[in-house]
Amino acid sequence: MLADDHERVTVTDTDARETAATTRLPREIWVLVGASFLIAIGYGLIAPALPSFAVSFDVGVTAAAVVVSAFAFVRLAFAPASGRLVTRFGERPIYLWGLTIVAAGSVASAFAVEYWQLLLFRSLSGVGSTMFTVSAVGLLIRIAPAHLRGRASGLWGTSFLLGGIAGPIVGSGLVVVSLRAPFLVYGLALMLTTGLVWWQLRHSTLASRADEDGEPVLTFRQALRHRTYRAALASNFANGWVVFGVRMSLIPLFVTAVLARGEEFTGIALAVFAAANAAVLLVAGRFADTRGRKPPALVGLALLAVGTVLLGQAQEPWLFLVASLVAGFGSGALNPAQSAAVADVLGKKARGGGVLAGFQMSADVGAVLGPLAAGAIAEAWSFGAAFAVTGGISALALVVWIAARETLPAPDTDDDADRAGQSEPEHTAQDAVPECCDLDSVRRR
């Protein structure tokens, strides 16, 4: 009896350890999450100072706006090159080099003495930004187990969001000291972050490539043959249009012109959206890992569409806040699901910098086009029409997702086997590759 009891206890302890191992995110994920938080704080640090710093060089408002938009434009333009660099050299070195470039550009901006220097250094930071963004997503795919990709994406997104909220608070205090202080602090903080990430990942087998010559390459054109990847591009475009574009450009104008409220109410509305987004990200990630990628993506797009349309119809402040809450829930539900779906399509062993760059660019294009199109519609017709068209973009992405394939790997299926084409097509990126070959036969040209 004692022997039986001892054996039963031993088996139970072993099962418990195995269960913990399969539900615990690797240490490397937490390193990336911490770095994401620090990077996002830095973005917020310089946000209050950048326009005023540009104007201090005796330039007009338009020139100051060019400095702000140059960062986003360079990110968009350099994304394809970043994808090729990730495919060629790997995620970890490009991630570290990207952080280093942004750090150097930020410190250099603090010592700029002419307008053109500030514009040049901010553009340089945009190059580094897209390098570490594309490579960070690639590292998440490589490191996170297939059944935890949703949670890893949700955690990474939450850290970036919380850092973005905290950054402007700290930055506003630094601006009192000097307009150059936020840039210098951000650059030095990024240098420390780069050293920390290098130290933590330098011996990591999860973050490195075991056999680069044997790794298949999935190109952007091949990935486009996968219905789920096309759906992820559509939803990320809609997310960029709504969240990074129209939300930041049209909401302040709507609050002033229609609701007749001041800037403080705009801040409250944006905070409500961010809080709802953060509250849902982790829950949505867990749901995507257990029930599938499609359900939270569909629900998220539906809420984003409804919430955005309601924003343009709101005539009372409380209804506007409710609409912001709904739209925030939608964005939070969507992001982990679409990121995990892209990871499923690519797989942890395939090199696909172009696939990741294309996914990032879809949001950047939406963020650029959204404010321009919505602003023109609001000026020609009304704010209600502008928000309705914006909601319609999310609805169109929802239609694309309805036709998408569920990519959540089966619980008993090894992700590496999926990438080799040994599992059912429902759980692989096989249909993204020409019929004459599987992923293992695709090689870098």
What confidence category does residue 329 fall into, taking pLDDT thresholds of 50, 70 and 90? very high
Whole-number Å distance between alpha carbons of 229 and 281 = 20
- Residue 61 CA, distance from chain mean position: 30
CATH number at residue 277: 1.20.1250.20
Residue 228 maps to a domain:
yes
Residue 240 maps to a domain:
yes
Domain endpoint, select from 156, 183, 209? 209
Which tokens belong to 117? Answer: 């220097």
Residues 197 and 233 occupy one common structural domain: no
Residues 131 and 81 occupy one common structural domain: yes
Measured distance between the N- and C-terminal CA atoms of the chain, rounded to whole angstroms: 65
Nearest to 358 by CA among 233, 445, 252: 233
Residue 419 maps to a domain:
no
Residues 6+ apart with CB under 8 A from 330: 299, 300, 301, 302, 303, 304, 305, 306, 307, 394
Residue 420 maps to a domain:
no
DSSP secondary structure string, 420-434? TT-S-GGGSSGGGS-
Whole-number Å distance between alpha carbons of 430 and 75 = 30
Which tokens belong to 203? Answer: 């011996």
What confidence category does residue 60 fall into, taking pLDDT thresholds of 50, 70 and 90? confident
- Outline where 111-146 has alpha helix (H): 115-143
Predicted local confidence at residue 387, as pLDDT: 94
Residues 43 and 121 occupy one common structural domain: yes
Residue 77 maps to a domain:
yes
Structural contact between residues 38 and 99, judged by C-beta atoms closer than 8 angstroms: no
- Outline where 50-90 has alpha helix (H): 50-55, 61-89
Whole-number Å distance between alpha carbons of 50 and 43 = 10
Query: What distance separates the 2 farthest-apart alpha carbons in the chain?
Result: 87
Q: Which residues of 63-100 are buried (b: 16+ CB within 10 A; e: fewer)?
A: ebebbeebbbebbbebbbebbebbbeebbbbbbbbbbb
Lowest mean pLDDT among 161-175, 179-193, 233-247, 356-370: 161-175
Count how many domains the chain has: 2
- Residue whose tokens read 């049209």: 250
Q: How many CB atoms neighbour CB 427 within 10 A? A: 19
Residues 6+ apart with CB under 8 A from 244: 363, 366, 367, 370
Domain extent at residue 116 = 27-209
Residues 107 and 177 occupy one common structural domain: yes
Residue 440 maps to a domain:
no
What confidence category does residue 342 fall into, taking pLDDT thresholds of 50, 70 and 90? very high
Domain endpoint, select from 185, 209, 233? 209
8-state DSSP, 293: S
Amino acid at 370: G
Reduced to 3 DSSP states, what percent helix, strand and coil does the chain have, rounded to the nearest 5? 80, 0, 20
Residues 305 and 337 occupy one common structural domain: yes
Residue 302 maps to a domain:
yes
Which tokens belong to 294? Answer: 């499609």
Nearest to 324 by CA among 250, 281, 258, 269: 269
Whole-number Å distance between alpha carbons of 292 and 427 = 11
What confidence category does residue 426 fall into, taking pLDDT thresholds of 50, 70 and 90? very low
For the cut 90, the answer to whether the pLDDT of residue 367 exceeds it is: no
pLDDT, tens digit, for every residue of 219-270? 889 999 999 999 999 999 999 999 877 887 788 888 888 898 877 788 788 8
Angle at CA 245, nearest 5°, toward 244 and 246? 120
pLDDT, tens digit, for every residue of 312-323? 999 999 999 999
Nearest to 179 by CA among 113, 110, 102: 110
Residues 185 and 261 occupy one common structural domain: no
Structural contact between residues 141 and 340, judged by C-beta atoms closer than 8 angstroms: no
Domain endpoint, select from 209, 229, 257? 209
What confidence category does residue 22 fall into, taking pLDDT thresholds of 50, 70 and 90? low
Residues 175 and 262 occupy one common structural domain: no
Which tokens belong to 181? Answer: 């202080």
Residues 241 and 363 occupy one common structural domain: yes
